[in-house]
Every structure is written in structure tokens, then in C-alpha cells.
Structure 1
């Protein structure tokens, strides 16, 4: 399993509208083949700091998703609320307890 962490810094003025934008984008993400779930984490001390946790069946499923997001069809509206580029980190599950 692959876990993707996408760390976002939101524009301060976009924080009130950010839930609707993020929800719309991630509804599409959740519908992609191989996606096992998505969580949105909001920093309790800074509402403009958001981390998205995506779980994927495989690296191939994640790679296909990222390739789709790079197309005109898959382009998201996240850029409208971001203060800077997102930071993506991919993790592979080593073991589960």
C-alpha cells in the first residue's frame, strides 16, 4: 500500500472557502481506481496548514492518478487557494500492527 501525504499552505483569504474546493477535488480523487481512502487534516494551530492523506492500493495506482491530474481533464482547482506549491511525499507501508 502507498500513502501519499500532500501538504498544503493556503492563502489566508482562501481559508473560509477552502473546504468546498478541497472537498470537490478530493471527491474526484476518491473515485479513482486504486484509491482506498482520503483524509484531510487541518493544523489546530494554523487553519491555513492542511495535510491530505491519500491511501492507494499500489504505486502504479498512485502514478496513474498523478498522470491523470497532469492532463486537462484531471487538472484541479487547488491552485486557486494555495499560497505556494504543495509538497508531496510518498510512503510505502513497511508493516502494520
Structure 2
């Protein structure tokens, strides 16, 4: 079942100028990971230092494998260089069927 992951990030406002290049570097590896079906970064209209990375995965297991890789030396990223607070990750894999 498809999983949607929201990674909420509070960025250091003094480092916003390096965010696009750093995100391109970090998220290129995310996008290339098996099971990743897409991602985008959305920016809070009221606070440009608050962003959410929205990732779509073929399954929660695919995301779990990716997340485990990110904890290894090979998967480590420079994302921490621009964070003002720890990231908050939420995984959505259950659906409520709607009769519309």
C-alpha cells in the first residue's frame, strides 16, 4: 500500500540561501531510492523557514528501508547543517474509504 511521508523541517532562517542547493543534493538521493514515487518540498506561506518534504513511497517498507539507510555513514546527509530544530516525520499509510 502506498505511503505518504511528511517530513516537517524548521530551518535556520540565516541559512535559507543554501537550502535549495542542499535540498537538491539530499533529495536527489531520496528520489533515486527504490520505491520512491515522488517528492516535493512545500513552504509555509507565513514562515519560509518552515517547510514540509512530502514523499510518496510504493510501500511503508520501502520508506523504512530508505530511513534505515539514512542512519548509516553511506546514507548520512548534510540536512542537519540547515535545521533549527529536530525534524518531525509522520507516515501515512492507512486510508479511510470515501463514498463520494
Q: Same fold (TM over 0.5)?
A: yes
Q: Which has the larger radius of gyration?
A: 2
In the other structure, the counterpart of 2:86 is 85
Shift of 1:46: 1.0
TM-score, scaled to structure 2: 0.92
Q: Return structure 1 stretches of 4+ with deviation > 3 angstroms.
A: none
Separation of aligned partners in 2, 1:33 and 1:57: 9
Q: Indicate if the aligned counterparts of 1:3 and 1:93 stay in contact, CA closer than 8 A.
A: no
In structure 2, stretches of 5+ residues that fail to align are none
- 1:31-46 aligned at under 5 Å gives the runs 31-46=32-47
| Structure 1 vs Structure 2 CA RMSD | 1.4
- Counting matched residue pairs gives 97
Separation of aligned partners in 2, 1:16 and 1:43: 16
TM-score, scaled to structure 1: 0.94
Shift of 1:38: 0.5
